[in-house]
């Protein structure tokens, strides 16, 4: 079996991201972005998707956390796209529900090759730690765009914004885990023959 791994270096005037990904890992994560809640969400994603992920970012946090959050997500998406290659032999579709106490989130993934994301988290606070709540959804949208996948994420219920955000990432990770799973074939799972 060909290893499904990738390394990405994304360097801009705003950030410097270094990332290593193994989508057939055990869920080991070493994340250092300088934004604690972003580290927490990406660690949860890696853990529950069973991705081994090492990610380091030096960002312009003196401005705010937006560039760091966005570029980490774009780098992760690019690595996922690279590791999947032509997406031959994958399940392609994945869906999952994830609860966290009173919060319940649903995620649906299609490794379609067509980037699209509809993310509805219903977060009410301005920020979770040093991460603006608007950037929680932006991370998921940026990940879907760079990974060339379709992603639908909804928080179905919940009161605590920390719980809602984390449940959304856990549901996404479980859906990704199912979508990237090898299905035992050597086919591209599409009537078009390509994804």
Identify the CATH number of the domain in which residue 90 sits.
3.30.230.40
Question: How many domains does the chain contain in total?
Answer: 1
State the pLDDT at residue 195: 87
Say if residues 113 and 148 touch (Cβ distance below 8 Å).
yes
- Selection from 27, 192, 177 nearest residue 92 by Cα: 177
Say if residues 7 and 101 touch (Cβ distance below 8 Å).
no
State the pLDDT at residue 86: 95
Q: Which residues in the chain land under pLDDT 70?
A: none
Which domain, by its residues, includes 89? 5-180
Q: Residue 131 pairs with which residues in a beta bridge?
A: 128
Q: Does any domain span residue 185?
A: no
State the pLDDT at residue 103: 98
Question: Measured between alpha carbons, how far is residue 101 from residues 45, 89, 187 in Å?
Answer: 18, 36, 40
Q: Does any domain span residue 54?
A: yes
């Amino acid at each position: 079996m060909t290893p499904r791994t990738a390394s990405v270096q994304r360097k801009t005037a705003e950030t410097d991201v270094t990332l290593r990904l193994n989508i057939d890992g055990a869920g080991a994560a070493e994340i250092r972005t300088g934004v604690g809640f972003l580290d927490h969400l990406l660690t949860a994603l890696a853990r529950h998707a069973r991705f081994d992920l090492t990610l380091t970012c030096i960002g312009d946090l003196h401005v705010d956390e937006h560039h760091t959050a966005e570029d980490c997500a774009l780098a992760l998406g690019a690595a996922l796209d690279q590791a999947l290659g032509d997406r031959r032999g994958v399940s392609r579709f994945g869906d999952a529900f994830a609860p966290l106490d009173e919060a319940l989130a649903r995620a649906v993934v299609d490794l379609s090759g067509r980037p699209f994301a509809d993310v509805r988290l219903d977060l009410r606070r301005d920020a979770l730690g040093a991460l603006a709540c608007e950037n929680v959804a932006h991370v998921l949208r940026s990940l879907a765009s760079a990974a060339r996948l379709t992603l639908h994420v909804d928080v179905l219920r919940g009161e605590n914004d920390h719980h809602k955000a984390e449940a959304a990432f856990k549901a996404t990770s479980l859906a990704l885990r199912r979508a990237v799973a090898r299905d035992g074939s050597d086919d591209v799972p599409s009537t078009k023959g390509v994804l």
